[in-house]
């Protein structure tokens, strides 16, 4: 009679070792593919937002929303454009940052990092389940009324673009990955000292100087184009009419490698 023979212990160990080796090779590749899929999903969201903003301006004499004048944020982008995006909170969030810092029970997360979504804002004027997201608008594109010479901590509204019909629109940011729903960058803003440092005070560029996508963030511009922006590139974009794109944090302005925080030094210079 034939004698049935199973695997020896050594054979099993060899097979397990081979599987472990293959997993160690494949897991990083799978992780990269997963991150790339999230990045593509983020850009798709922003492309859709570009369409929403285009439709909004076409219906409002070519102008953006005012962004001011309401304690309930009714004039901010996520409220003003609600009829267009139909209150779909998934499109308000980058796929890498879906969870708001305040949960449905009103409990604030103990830590806030670059993969957190801002909000949840609740009350009159907001969605029934609250409003949250992980994108922020360039506040300088908005159209505040003449009665607002300044907006948010003294930023002068005379520098606002107000409309997408501006020169070099491909270099004027509109909406992007961010830790707050709006941002008013100045060319003098300093970068965050730590990678996970949350934005503070009037240093608004810190709200968006976050490594969500391999050393950069995704952004839609006033010509409705979408692309990745390297973090140091933030200081050479035309955020508002008087923004100095040759400011102190650019190569043209004299910045050197040692001026940057340690975590940003390996990133491309601009």
**Residue 182: both structure tokens together:** 């709006």
> How do the domains of the chain map onto residue ranges?
10-264
User: Where does the pLDDT of residue 70 fall: very low under 50, low under 70, confident under 90, or very high at 90 and above?
Assistant: low
What span, in angstroms and rounded, lies between the C-alpha atoms of 22 and 30? 12
Supply the pTM of this predicted model: 0.88
| Arithmetic mean of pLDDT over the chain | 90
> What is the pLDDT, as a whole number, of residue 144?
93
> What is the pLDDT, as a whole number, of residue 29?
58
- Run of H or E residues at 82: helix 82-85
For 197-243, the pLDDT digits (tens) are 877 778 999 999 999 999 999 999 999 999 999 999 999 999 999 99
User: Where does the pLDDT of residue 72 fall: very low under 50, low under 70, confident under 90, or very high at 90 and above?
Assistant: low
What span, in angstroms and rounded, lies between the C-alpha atoms of 123 and 229? 35
Contact 89, 83 (CB under 8 A): no
Nearest residue to 160 (alpha-carbon basis) of 74, 270, 65, 87: 65
> What is the pLDDT, as a whole number, of residue 228?
97
Nearest residue to 219 (alpha-carbon basis) of 264, 183, 178: 178
Q: What φ, ψ does residue 163 adopt, rounded to 5°?
A: -145, 155
User: Where does the pLDDT of residue 78 fall: very low under 50, low under 70, confident under 90, or very high at 90 and above?
Assistant: very high
Residue 74 has pLDDT above 80, yes or no: no
What span, in angstroms and rounded, lies between the C-alpha atoms of 205 and 234? 8
> What is the pLDDT, as a whole number, of residue 26?
65
For 6-44, the pLDDT digits (tens) are 667 777 777 787 777 777 776 665 666 677 889 999 999
Average pLDDT score over residue span 116-143: 92
For 145-173, the pLDDT digits (tens) are 988 888 877 789 999 999 999 999 999 99
Residue 71 has pLDDT above 70, yes or no: no
Contact 65, 75 (CB under 8 A): yes
Contact 144, 137 (CB under 8 A): no
First vs last C-alpha separation in the chain: 78
User: Half-sphere exposure of residue 12, counting CA atoms within 13 Å on the CB side?
Assistant: 4
Contact 222, 175 (CB under 8 A): no
Residue carrying structure tokens 């491909």: 170
Contact 143, 162 (CB under 8 A): yes
Least confident of 20-29, 48-57, 88-97, 261-270: 20-29
Q: What φ, ψ does residue 202 adopt, rounded to 5°?
A: -90, 5
Nearest residue to 208 (alpha-carbon basis) of 241, 237, 244, 180: 180
């Amino acid at each position: 009679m034939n004698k049935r023979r199973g695997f020896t212990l050594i054979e099993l160990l060899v097979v397990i070792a081979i599987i472990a080796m293959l997993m160690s090779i494949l897991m990083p590749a799978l992780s990269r593919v997963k991150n790339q899929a999230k990045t593509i999903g983020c850009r798709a969201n922003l492309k859709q937002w570009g369409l929403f903003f285009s439709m909004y301006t076409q219906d409002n004499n070519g102008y953006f929303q005012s962004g001011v004048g309401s304690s309930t944020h009714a004039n901010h982008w996520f409220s003003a454009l609600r009829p267009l995006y139909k209150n779909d909170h998934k499109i308000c969030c980058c796929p890498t940052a879906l969870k708001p810092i305040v949960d449905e029970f009103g409990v604030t997360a103990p830590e806030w990092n670059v993969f957190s979504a801002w909000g949840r804002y609740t009350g009159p004027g907001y969605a029934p389940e609250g409003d949250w997201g992980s994108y922020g608008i360039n506040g300088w594109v908005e159209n505040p009324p003449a009665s607002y010479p300044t907006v948010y901590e003294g930023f002068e509204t005379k520098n606002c673009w107000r409309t997408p019909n501006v020169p070099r629109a491909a270099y004027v940011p509109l909406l992007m990955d961010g830790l707050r729903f709006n941002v008013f960058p100045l060319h003098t803003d300093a970068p965050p000292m730590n990678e996970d440092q949350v934005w503070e005070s009037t240093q608004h560029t810190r709200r968006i100087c976050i490594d969500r996508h391999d050393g950069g963030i995704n952004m839609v511009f006033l010509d409705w184009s979408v692309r990745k922006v390297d973090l140091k590139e933030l200081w050479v974009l035309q955020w508002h009419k008087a923004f100095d794109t040759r400011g102190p944090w650019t190569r043209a302005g004299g910045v050197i490698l040692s001026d940057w925080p340690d975590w940003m030094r390996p990133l491309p210079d601009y």
